């Protein structure tokens, strides 16, 4: 048996007790062998006269998921393979959003400027710190060394997906929101030979492309003189083309216009992102049961995700000083009731010398990730009391990012802005001006590279003794040892620009695009039906072509070839990409982590009570030693032009060690034959990712300009190699009612999570070796409190007259209330001092403490089902309320349109 039933009390793992109630289904399936051809229902009279009914399709999947939930001794929600296959979902991430309490993000890498057409990132009960497992074992992506990008995993490879919301002591530590366990099929899960193939098509109506998805599976098992053998092979490949359109208003700035104190947005951004995604996966499983008491297995699993996106953007970036937006002489500005500029014609104070800082941008990026997992183990039960299992695992993850951006500047004298601060901000600029390449100059350039590798070697041993006692049912104990390493190169974002207002250039004297440059590298671009025509943007504009961005080095080499003869300042390596950065040891970091975990857990039960009680109580002790190796960099410092501190780079080994004691308690009370009440309490941790713990520390001298005295060394970065794990105390109370045998169930759950030590950027004193000063870096900051409610119901309406008796429904709703106490730098607001993340609204009122990011207050799913005879259909809808994407200094108003 795989880890499928690891939480079922009193269940043996031997082959004769393997679960057989989940049947494989796909768009096209053929089942041959002893079972014959599968039909929707099958009944026969056995020797003892009992009638056996085998149910397949959506009903079987729902009943199987409910069996997992009902029999588990922890709080868990499951989706079986039939669910994933029947939902209109292309990845595990998309499937998970159907689970109560689970929401998915819609932004690439949590970047508010880059929406994702597919789900990106999973949050369980409001927390994105979600542990990923593959068959109960650790699995991760290379850059983080922790969780897995579930959107990279083909749904067709999954037997089931279990979301654990309360842990038990025998579960691997990690995961504040919960643990998502991806379960693959095993050969012994089927009675005989099984063959399945599927084909699907996806059409994007905005990008106007059709793509296919294909998968195939073969499984069989044989009885031999050496025991029973089984083999399973599964493969999947899919392509997907999507387009997303985004528009948002930039942050508001306090301004004085004609003597009135008002608020004016810095500008507006429009972006179109075209994504081309290829997802591939393969899986092999072997099982051997030489006798009734022993099982050996081997699995190999690989998933690869290749995502390319082309971005085309227009943006108006005003600000303060020469860039500040002001009314034209007509002064046609219109304000909202709280003094925020909504519409009007805008210009700058000196349009003759400068003008509106308008840019166009082309970005091409490719992100390729691959994770490969090998596992082997043995399970042995010598008698009716003892169970032993041993497991070895090797996992290797790789990731590569190539990211190029090229931009232009165009400087019109004025523009018309409308609907600023609403969901549909628009801008109108003279089309003839925007369509003339001679009005543009070559602007910004940016590159970003990542090369990440990580691997882990893990050994685990578990033993369980069954007492068959009146109260103590069994005691289980085990030990797990893991060595995980990471080799990560991250070059940061190397952004440079030729011209900006703050440089003091005259727009009339800076070089413009030449006809040759326009022909070779630019394209006259039109967004075309942007957000289905709901938002007005400049009709056309020049930007770099996608080919020019993709061939970034050749393009930049060519356009800068003669800059020295022009005497341009940017020739001093300002716009040339440093192509040796990937070989620069300053960007390279190594992580070496060793973890030892031990646990003991008691399964208990009070069977003789009027309302029987069972559950488990245990404790897990985890010791983690981490060494992050990188560079300690001291920047060069001068006083009156004289170097007082030379630049230096020395190796840095940052070491941390943490020990955590994690108790857990789970209780299940059977109030009646069909009603169960659960209570759970536990402690949990979440380790920082490898990328958050990069050991690249750069300090700069803090020098008194009058005396030349060095007061200390300031540190400013987004990482911290000395980060500690986040911690949480969590409670869960739920009621489950299984009101009929055809998949009918209703449930409600209350939960509370108290989180300590968020990973947030903060300012504090630091000391590293002989260097001390003020650090502004990622650290363990503040706390949060999350309270929530989950309710749901599943029901097939068999009582309705035909043909409506095939109708069914699944619905769930989640409510979450959160508050975060994050002591950030104090900020002056309207003459007062407000601590914490306290941005100012356009009516000058402070928001005060913000909610926890990525957390929606309300979310629901509703799935309509129909299944009768050989016909099956499903229609699913998911919704979540607005949520804070990230804490920062500006608030964005966004709207998305994507397919």
> What's the helix, strand, coil split of the chain in %, to 5?
10, 55, 35
Q: pLDDT tier at 83 (50, 70, 90 boundaries)? A: low
- β-pairing, 696-703 vs 613-634, is parallel
Range from 19-23, 80-84, 856-860 carrying the lowest mean pLDDT = 19-23
Half-sphere exposure of 163 (CA within 13 A, CB side): 24
Rounded CA separation 787/730 (Å)? 10
Residues 726-743 have a mean pLDDT of 92
Q: pLDDT tier at 624 (50, 70, 90 boundaries)? A: very high
The token duo for 116 is 């994702």
pLDDT score, position 531: 80
Rounded CA separation 668/9 (Å)? 12
Residues 880-887 have a mean pLDDT of 78
**Cα 199 off chain centre by:** 27
Half-sphere exposure of 484 (CA within 13 A, CB side): 25
Q: Which of 739, 752, 741 is nearest to 792 (CA)?
A: 739
Tell me the per-residue pLDDT of 215-268, one tens digit each, with 9 for 90 and over: 999 999 999 999 999 999 999 999 989 888 888 888 888 888 888 889 898 888
CB 637 within 8 A of CB 700: yes
Rounded CA separation 141/134 (Å)? 12
Place of tokens 């290829």: 278
Tell me: pLDDT of 855 over 70.
yes
Tell me: pLDDT of 44 over 70.
no
CB 160 within 8 A of CB 80: yes
DSSP 62: H
Q: Which residues contact 155 (CB under 8 A, 6 or more apart)?
A: 84, 85, 89, 90, 91, 92, 94, 95
Range from 63-77, 106-120, 606-620, 726-740 carrying the lowest mean pLDDT = 106-120
Rounded CA separation 885/270 (Å)? 18
pLDDT score, position 854: 77
**Cα 427 off chain centre by:** 33
DSSP assignment of 666-679 equals EEEEESSSSEEEEE
Tell me the per-residue pLDDT of 743-764, one tens digit each, with 9 for 90 and over: 799 999 999 999 999 888 888 8
DSSP 192: S
Place of tokens 């947005």: 265
Q: How many residues in the chain?
A: 899
Task: Provide φ and ψ at 64, rounded to 5°.
Answer: -65, -45
CB 784 within 8 A of CB 758: yes
State the SS3 of 861-873: EEEEEEEECCEEE
Instruction: Assess whether the previous peptide bond of 803 is cis (omega < 30° from 0).
Output: yes
- Residue 898 β-bridge partners: 244
- Residue 279 β-bridge partners: 238, 305
What is the rounded (10 degree) CA torsion for 840, 846, 848, 854? -40
Share of the chain above pLDDT 90, in %: 45
The token duo for 298 is 């081997």
Rounded CA separation 311/767 (Å)? 42
Residue 109 — left, alpha, or beta (φ > 0 → left; ψ -120 to 50 → alpha)? left
Rounded CA separation 295/460 (Å)? 16
Tell me the per-residue pLDDT of 118-172, one tens digit each, with 9 for 90 and over: 767 788 988 889 999 999 999 988 878 887 888 788 888 888 899 999 999 999 9
Rounded CA separation 887/875 (Å)? 35
3-state secondary structure of 144: coil
pTM: 0.85
pLDDT score, position 218: 94
Residues 847-857 have a mean pLDDT of 73
Rounded CA separation 521/527 (Å)? 18
Residue 582 — left, alpha, or beta (φ > 0 → left; ψ -120 to 50 → alpha)? alpha
Residue 707: C-alpha distances to residues 640, 702, 703, 771 (Å): 11, 12, 8, 20
Q: pLDDT tier at 828 (50, 70, 90 boundaries)? A: very low
Name the helix (H) or strand (E) containing 61.
helix 57-71
Q: Which residues contact 122 (CB under 8 A, 6 or more apart)?
A: 93, 96, 102, 103, 104, 105, 128, 130, 150, 180
pLDDT score, position 892: 32
Residues 558-567 have a mean pLDDT of 68
Rounded CA separation 725/7 (Å)? 27
């Amino acid at each position: 048996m795989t880890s499928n039933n690891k939480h079922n009390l009193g269940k043996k793992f031997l082959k004769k007790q393997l679960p057989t109630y989940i049947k494989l289904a796909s768009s096209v399936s053929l089942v041959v062998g002893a079972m014959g051809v599968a039909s929707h229902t099958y009944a026969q009279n056995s020797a003892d006269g009992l009638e056996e009914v085998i149910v397949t399709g959506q009903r079987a999947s729902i009943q199987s998921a409910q069996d997992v939930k009902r029999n588990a001794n922890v709080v868990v929600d499951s989706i079986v393979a039939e669910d994933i296959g029947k939902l209109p979902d292309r990845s595990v991430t998309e499937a998970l959003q159907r689970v109560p309490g689970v929401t998915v993000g819609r932004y690439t890498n949590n970047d508010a400027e880059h929406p994702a057409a597919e789900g990106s990132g999973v949050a369980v009960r409001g927390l994105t710190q979600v542990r990923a497992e593959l068959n109960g074992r650790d699995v991760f992506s290379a850059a983080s060394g922790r969780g897995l990008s579930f959107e990279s995993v083909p749904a067709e490879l999954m037997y089931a997906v279990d979301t654990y919301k309360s842990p038990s002591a025998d579960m691997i530590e990690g995961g504040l929101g919960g643990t998502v366990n991806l379960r693959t099929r095993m050969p012994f899960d089927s009675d005989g030979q099984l063959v399945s193939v599927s084909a699907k098509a996806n059409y994007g109506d905005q990008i106007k492309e059709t793509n296919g998805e294909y998968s195939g599976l073969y499984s069989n098992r044989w009885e031999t003189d050496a025991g029973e053998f089984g083999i399973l092979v599964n493969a999947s490949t899919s392509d997907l083309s999507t387009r997303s359109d985004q528009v948002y208003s930039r942050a508001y700035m306090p301004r004085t216009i004609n003597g009135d104190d008002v608020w004016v947005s810095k500008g507006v951004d429009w972006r179109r992102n075209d994504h081309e995604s290829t997802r591939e996966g393969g899986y092999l499983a072997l099982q051997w049961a030489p006798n009734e008491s022993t099982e050996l297995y081997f699995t190999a699993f690989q998933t690869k995700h290749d995502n390319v996106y082309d971005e085309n953007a227009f943006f108006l970036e005003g600000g303060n000083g020469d860039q500040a937006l002001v009314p034209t002489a007509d002064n046609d500005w219109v304000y909202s009731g709280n003094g925020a500029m909504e519409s009007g014609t805008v210009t700058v104070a000196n349009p003759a010398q400068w003008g509106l800082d308008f840019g166009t941008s082309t970005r091409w990026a490719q992100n390729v990730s691959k994770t490969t997992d090998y596992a082997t183990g043995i399970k042995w039960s010598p008698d009716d009391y003892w169970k032993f299992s041993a497991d070895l695992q090797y996992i290797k993850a790789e990731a590569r990012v190539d990211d190029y951006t090229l931009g232009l500047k165009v400087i019109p004298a004025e523009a018309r802005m409308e609907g600023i601060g609403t969901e549909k901000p628009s801008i109108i600029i003279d089309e003839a001006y925007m369509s003339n390449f001679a009005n543009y100059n070559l602007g910004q350039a940016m590159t970003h590279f990542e090369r990440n590798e990580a691997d882990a070697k893990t050994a685990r041993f578990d033993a369980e003794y069954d007492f068959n006692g009146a109260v103590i049912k069994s005691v289980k104990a085990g030990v797990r040892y893991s060595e995980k390493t990471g080799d990560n190169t991250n070059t940061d974002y190397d952004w440079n620009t030729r011209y900006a207002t703050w440089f003091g250039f005259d727009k009339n004297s800076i070089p413009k695009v030449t006809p040759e440059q326009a022909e070779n590298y630019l394209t006259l671009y039109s967004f075309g039906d942007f957000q289905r025509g709901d938002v007005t943007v400049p009709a056309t504009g020049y930007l770099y072509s996608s080919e020019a961005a993709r061939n970034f080095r050749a393009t930049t080499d060519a356009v800068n070839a003669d800059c020295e003869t022009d005497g341009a300042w940017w020739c001093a390596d300002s716009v040339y990409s440093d192509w040796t950065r990937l070989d620069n040891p300053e960007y390279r970091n190594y992580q070496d982590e060793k973890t030892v975990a031990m646990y003991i857990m008691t399964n208990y039960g009070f069977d003789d009570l009027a309302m029987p009680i069972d559950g488990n109580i245990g404790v897990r002790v985890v010791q983690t030693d981490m060494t992050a190796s990188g560079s300690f960099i001291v920047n060069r410092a001068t006083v009156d032009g004289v170097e007082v501190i030379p630049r230096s780079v020395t190796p840095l080994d940052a070491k941390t060690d943490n020990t955590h004691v994690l108790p857990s308690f789970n209780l299940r009370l059977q109030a009646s034959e069909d009603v169960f009440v659960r209570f759970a309490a536990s402690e949990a941790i979440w380790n920082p990712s490898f990328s958050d713990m990069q050991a690249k520390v750069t300090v700069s001298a803090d020098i008194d300009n009058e005396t030349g005295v060095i007061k200390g060394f300031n540190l400013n970065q987004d990482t911290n190699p000395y980060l500690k794990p986040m911690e949480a105390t969590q409670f869960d109370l739920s009621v489950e009612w299984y009101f009929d045998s055809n998949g009918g169930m209703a449930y409600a759950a209350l939960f509370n999570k108290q989180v300590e030590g968020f990973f947030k950027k903060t300012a504090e004193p630091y000391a590293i070796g002989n260097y001390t000063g003020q650090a502004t870096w990622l650290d363990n900051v503040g706390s949060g409190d999350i309270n929530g409610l989950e309710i749901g119901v599943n029901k097939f309406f068999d009582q309705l007259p035909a043909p409506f008796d095939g109708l069914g429904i699944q619905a769930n709703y989640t409510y979450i209330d959160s508050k975060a106490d994050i002591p950030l730098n104090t900020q002056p607001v309207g003459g007062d001092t407000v601590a914490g993340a306290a941005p100012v609204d356009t009516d000058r009122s402070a928001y005060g403490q913000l909610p926890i990011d990525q957390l929606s207050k309300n979310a629901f799913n509703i799935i309509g089902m129909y299944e009768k005879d050989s016909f099956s259909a499903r229609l699913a809808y998911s919704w979540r309320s607005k949520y804070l994407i990230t804490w920062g200094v500006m608030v964005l108003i966004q709207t998305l349109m994507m397919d």
